[in-house]
Amino acid sequence: MTGSDVRARNEALLRWYRTNKRDLPWRDIGDPYSTLVSEIMLQQTQVDRVIPRYESFMARFPSVHDLARAHRIDVLEEWSGLGYNARAVRLHEAAAIVSRSGWPEDLTTLPGVGPYTAAAIGSMAMGRAEPAVDTNLRRVISRWLGAPLEGRALTEAAQSVVGEPAGDWNQALMDLGSSLCTTKHPACDECPVTDFCADPTVYSSPRPQARFAGSRRELRGALVRAHVRGADLRDAGMEMGRTADEVDRAIADLSAEGLLPA
């Protein structure tokens, strides 16, 4: 594919995005804190569930300084129900660093911020030309190029095709991947870049989801919620049919991670 094909594909993608983009409360704000909060919430939670929780969180902690000053239990209370509570702890720690020292050049030095989240914040709120490589982007770009890409090959491929502005390009890929270029049944007839796509069958089998009921994650979430409402933690765990050993181990781990008081 020539450079002009790559440009034409990006122009078609961005045109489609401007007309079809989802109306999300953290979009087009250009504020790294809003992007950080939304991206941390989106790490393991669906967009529809995140929207009301994001709005409530931002109403309670409107700036990075407000979040940094908040008590941990208030942050966990506001996070309650989103699950994976370690995310709230890391977000709180990141806010403390940013409030004290400003945004670091290397965003991955912040707790909870990996390469994807750093690229999302950098491109959407700091004008950086970085592709935010997640499973959606991996699937779409692999289909564009006609081969399943992983690791370094994927990162280099994404860097070679990223459009401008990169923030819009990343969000366009997220929307394309969640609406048309889905895992099992890509809607290629409706796709704005169908003329530039090598193989729609790449990555057409979803990976199996881990079972939640009866899992350690379920127990950990229940213990943190019990703590927030002031209930007895051991009782809460035992009522779920877990053994005393399991509950004690989970409490000890959560305390070590800062999710429960030591």
- Closest contact distance (angstroms) between CB of 216 and ligand SF4 is 36
By CB under 6 A, which span of 30-38, 83-91, 178-186, 250-258 interacts with ligand SF4? 178-186
Question: Closest Cα to residue 168, out of 113, 123, 121?
Answer: 123
Considering the complex, state which of residue 9 and residue 242 has its C-beta at the smaller distance from ligand SF4: 9
Considering the complex, state which of residue 63 and residue 183 has its C-beta at the smaller distance from ligand SF4: 183
- Closest contact distance (angstroms) between CB of 187 and ligand SF4 is 6
Instruction: Name the token pair of 183.
Output: 């895992």
Sign, CA dihedral 68-73-78-83, equals: positive
Coil, strand, or helix at residue 171? Answer: helix
Q: Contact between 112 and ligand SF4 (CB under 6 A)?
A: no
Taking a C-beta distance cutoff of 8 angstroms, is the pair 131, 137 a contact? Answer: yes
> Phi and psi dihedrals of 183, rounded to 5?
-60, -50
- Closest contact distance (angstroms) between CB of 189 and ligand SF4 is 8
Instruction: Name the token pair of 237.
Output: 């765990």
Instruction: Name the token pair of 164.
Output: 């401008």
CA-CA distance, 237 to 222, in Å (whole number)?
Answer: 7
Residues contacting residue 158 through CB under 8 Å, at least 6 positions apart: 131, 133, 137, 141
Residues contacting residue 147 through CB under 8 Å, at least 6 positions apart: 199, 202
Considering the complex, state which of residue 32 and residue 200 has its C-beta at the smaller distance from ligand SF4: 200
Considering the complex, state which of residue 78 and residue 175 has its C-beta at the smaller distance from ligand SF4: 175
* Active-site pick, 11, 39, 55, 150: 39
Q: Is 235 exposed, middle or buried (0-12, 13-18, 19+ CB in 10 A)?
A: exposed
Residues 12-71 that bind ligand SF4 (CB under 6 A): none
Q: Identify whether 218 is a catalytic site residue.
A: no
Q: List the x/- string, 136-155, binding to ligand SF4 by CB under 6 A.
A: ----x--x------------
- Closest contact distance (angstroms) between CB of 150 and ligand SF4 is 18
Q: List the x/- string, 188-207, binding to ligand SF4 by CB under 6 A.
A: x--x-xx--x--x-------
Q: Contact between 180 and ligand SF4 (CB under 6 A)?
A: yes
Q: Contact between 115 and ligand SF4 (CB under 6 A)?
A: no
- Closest contact distance (angstroms) between CB of 116 and ligand SF4 is 20
Considering the complex, state which of residue 140 and residue 172 has its C-beta at the smaller distance from ligand SF4: 140
Alpha-carbon torsion, ordered 137, 145, 169, 90, to 10 deg: 20
The CA distances from residue 43 to 15, 127, 132, 134, in Å, are 27, 22, 13, 10
Considering the complex, state which of residue 89 and residue 193 has its C-beta at the smaller distance from ligand SF4: 193
The CA distances from residue 82 to 5, 52, 104, 138, 139, in Å, are 42, 11, 27, 25, 26
By CB under 6 A, which span of 49-57, 104-112, 153-161, 187-195 interacts with ligand SF4? 187-195
Q: Any idea which residues carry the catalytic annotation?
A: 39
Applying CB under 6 A, the residues found at the interface with ligand SF4 are 140, 143, 180-181, 186-188, 191, 193-194, 197, 200
